[in-house]
Chains A and B, each alone.
Chain A
Amino acid sequence: MRVMSKILKVQNLSKTYRSGDQDLHVLNNVSFEVSNGETFAIVGPSGSGKTTLLGLCAGLDKVDDGEIWLCDQNLIQLNEDGRALLRNQNVGFVFQDFQLLPTLTALENVIVPLELRGIKKAKEQGKELLAKVGLENRSGHYPSQLSGGEQQRVALARAFANKPAILFADEPTGNLDDETGAKIEKLLFELNKEQGTALVIVTHDLELAQRADKSIRLRSGKIEQTQG
Chain B
Amino acid sequence: MDKGKKAGFSWLAKMAWRDGRASYGKLTLFVLSIILGVAAVVSVHSFSGLLKENIAQRSKALLGADFVIESDQPITQKVEAIIDSLGGADAREINFPSMASFPGKGATKFVEVRGIDGGFPFYGELETVPQQAAGRYKEGKALVDATTMIQFNLKVGDSIKLGAKSFAIAGSLETVPGSTSVFGAIAPPVLIPLANIDDTGLVQTGSRIDYKYYFKAKENQDLEDLNKKLESILDEEHADLDTHLSEASRLGRRYDNFGKFLNLVGFISLLLGCVGIASGMGIYVQMKLRSIAVLKCLGASKKQSYLIFFIQIVCMGLIGGLFGIMFGYVLQQLFPILLGDLLPVDVNITLSFQSVLLGLSLGTAMSVLFALYPLMKTLYVSPLQTLRVVQENTSRSIRATFAVGLGIIGFVFCFAYWLLGDLARSIYFVMGLFVVFLVLTSVAQFFMAMLKKFFPHSWGFIARQSLKNLFRPQNQTLVLVLSIGIGTFLISTLYFTKDMLLEKAAMEDRANTANMILMDIQTTQVSAVAKTLQSSGFPVIDKIPIVTMRVEALKDKQVSEIRKDSTSQIGRWILNHEFRVTYRDSLVSSEKIVAGNWISRAQNEKSIPISVSSDFATMAQVDVGDEVTFNVQGKIMKTVVRSIREVDWTRLQPNFSIVFPIGVLENAPQFGVMTTRTSTDVGSAKLQQRLVSEFPNVSILDLKRILGLLEDILGKIGWVINFMAFFSIFVGIAVLMGAIYSSKHQRMRQGALLRTLGAKSSQILKMIALEYAVLGFLGAFMGVVLAVLGSSLLAYILFDTAFVPSSIPFMVILPSITILVFAIGVGTSIEIIRNSPISVLQKENE
Judge if A163 is at the interface, Cβ distance under 8 Å: yes
Judge if A113 is at the interface, Cβ distance under 8 Å: yes
Cβ < 8 Å to B, chain A residues 175-219: none
Given contacts A88-B300, A102-B291, 20 further A-B contacts (CB under 8 A): A60-B297, A60-B386, A60-B387, A61-B382, A80-B302, A84-B296, A84-B300, A93-B297, A93-B386, A95-B386, A99-B290, A100-B294, A103-B291, A113-B298, A113-B299, A115-B11, A117-B6, A118-B5, A144-B843, A162-B299
Q: Which residue of B lies closest to A108 (CB)?
A: B18
Judge if B1 is at the interface, Cβ distance under 8 Å: yes
Mark each residue of chain A from 31 to 70: 1 if its CB lies under 8 Å from any CB of chain B, else 0: 0000000000000000000010011001011000000000
Complex interface: stretch among B19-27, B185-193, B196-204, B230-238: B19-27
Query: In the complex the two chains form, is B14's CB within 8 Å of A102's CB?
Result: no
Judge if B7 is at the interface, Cβ distance under 8 Å: yes
Known A117-B3, A118-B4: A103·B23 in contact at CB below 8 Å: yes
Query: In the complex the two chains form, is A103's CB within 8 Å of B382's CB?
Result: no
Mark each residue of chain A from 81 to 104: 1 if its CB lies under 8 Å from any CB of chain B, else 0: 100110111110101000111111
Query: In the complex the two chains form, is A103's CB within 8 Å of B19's CB?
Result: yes
Rounded to whole angstroms, the CA-CA distance of A108 and B16 in the bound complex is: 13
Q: Within the complex, what minimum Cβ distance (angstroms) separates B683 from chain A?
A: 77
Query: In the complex the two chains form, is B387's CB within 8 Å of A89's CB?
Result: no
Chain A residues, Cβ within 8 Å of B386:
60, 93, 95, 99
Judge if B2 is at the interface, Cβ distance under 8 Å: yes
| B3, B11, B301, B304: residue with the most chain A Cβ atoms closer than 10 Å | B301
**28 intermolecular pairs with C-beta atoms under 8 Å apart:** A51-B388, A61-B382, A81-B302, A84-B300, A84-B383, A85-B299, A85-B301, A87-B297, A93-B386, A95-B387, A99-B294, A102-B22, A103-B18, A103-B21, A103-B23, A104-B19, A112-B298, A116-B11, A116-B300, A116-B304, A117-B4, A117-B6, A117-B7, A117-B299, A119-B2, A143-B846, A158-B298, A170-B387
Known A117-B2, A118-B5: A54·B387 in contact at CB below 8 Å: yes
| A61, A90, A102: residue with the most chain B Cβ atoms closer than 10 Å | A102
Chain B residues, Cβ within 8 Å of A88:
298-300
Cβ < 8 Å to A, chain B residues 639-693: none
Rounded to whole angstroms, the CA-CA distance of A103 and B308 in the bound complex is: 13
Q: Which residue of B lies closest to A175 (CB)?
A: B845
| Total CB contacts across the A-B interface at under 8 A | 106
Rounded to whole angstroms, the CA-CA distance of A87 and B1 in the bound complex is: 13
Query: In the complex the two chains form, is A104's CB within 8 Å of B2's CB?
Result: no
Mark each residue of chain B from 371 to 386: 1 if its CB lies under 8 Å from any CB of chain A, else 0: 0000000000011101
Size bracket of the A interface: 35 or more
Query: In the complex the two chains form, is B295's CB within 8 Å of A118's CB?
Result: no
Chain A residues, Cβ within 8 Å of B19:
101, 103-104
Contact of A101 among B3, B291, B388 (CB under 8 A): B291
Residues of B within 8 A of A (CB): 1-8, 11, 14-15, 18-19, 21-23, 290-291, 294-304, 382-384, 386-388, 843, 846
Rounded to whole angstroms, the CA-CA distance of A176 and B294 in the bound complex is: 20
Rounded to whole angstroms, the CA-CA distance of A90 and B3 in the bound complex is: 10
Q: Within the complex, what minimum Cβ distance (angstroms) separates B544 from chain A?
A: 80
Rounded to whole angstroms, the CA-CA distance of A60 and B385 in the bound complex is: 9
Chain B residues, Cβ within 8 Å of A58:
297
Query: In the complex the two chains form, is A89's CB within 8 Å of B299's CB?
Result: yes
Contact of B8 among A91, A114, A118 (CB under 8 A): A118
Q: Within the complex, what minimum Cβ distance (angstroms) separates A162 from chain B?
A: 8
Chain A residues, Cβ within 8 Å of B304:
116
Q: Within the complex, what minimum Cβ distance (angstroms) separates B424 from chain A?
A: 48
Rounded to whole angstroms, the CA-CA distance of A99 and B293 in the bound complex is: 9
Query: In the complex the two chains form, is A51's CB within 8 Å of B299's CB?
Result: no
Chain B residues, Cβ within 8 Å of A165:
1
Q: Within the complex, what minimum Cβ distance (angstroms) separates A183 from chain B?
A: 20
Chain A residues, Cβ within 8 Å of B297:
58, 60, 87, 93, 99
Q: Which residue of B lies closest to A143 (CB)?
A: B846
Rounded to whole angstroms, the CA-CA distance of A112 and B3 in the bound complex is: 15
Query: In the complex the two chains form, is A163's CB within 8 Å of B1's CB?
Result: yes
Query: In the complex the two chains form, is B298's CB within 8 Å of A87's CB?
Result: yes
Rounded to whole angstroms, the CA-CA distance of A102 and B388 in the bound complex is: 18
Q: Within the complex, what minimum Cβ distance (angstroms) separates A125 from chain B?
A: 10
Q: Which residue of B lies closest to A95 (CB)?
A: B386
Chain B residues, Cβ within 8 Å of A117:
2-7, 299
Rounded to whole angstroms, the CA-CA distance of A60 and B381 in the bound complex is: 11
Rounded to whole angstroms, the CA-CA distance of A101 and B15 in the bound complex is: 11
Rounded to whole angstroms, the CA-CA distance of A224 and B567 in the bound complex is: 98
Query: In the complex the two chains form, is A112's CB within 8 Å of B295's CB?
Result: yes
Chain A residues, Cβ within 8 Å of B383:
60, 84
Rounded to whole angstroms, the CA-CA distance of A108 and B14 in the bound complex is: 10
Rounded to whole angstroms, the CA-CA distance of A85 and B300 in the bound complex is: 7
Q: Which 8 A-B pairs have CB atoms at the shortest separation, nearest pair first?
A: A88-B299, A118-B5, A103-B22, A117-B4, A118-B4, A81-B301, A60-B384, A60-B383
Query: In the complex the two chains form, is B3's CB within 8 Å of A89's CB?
Result: yes
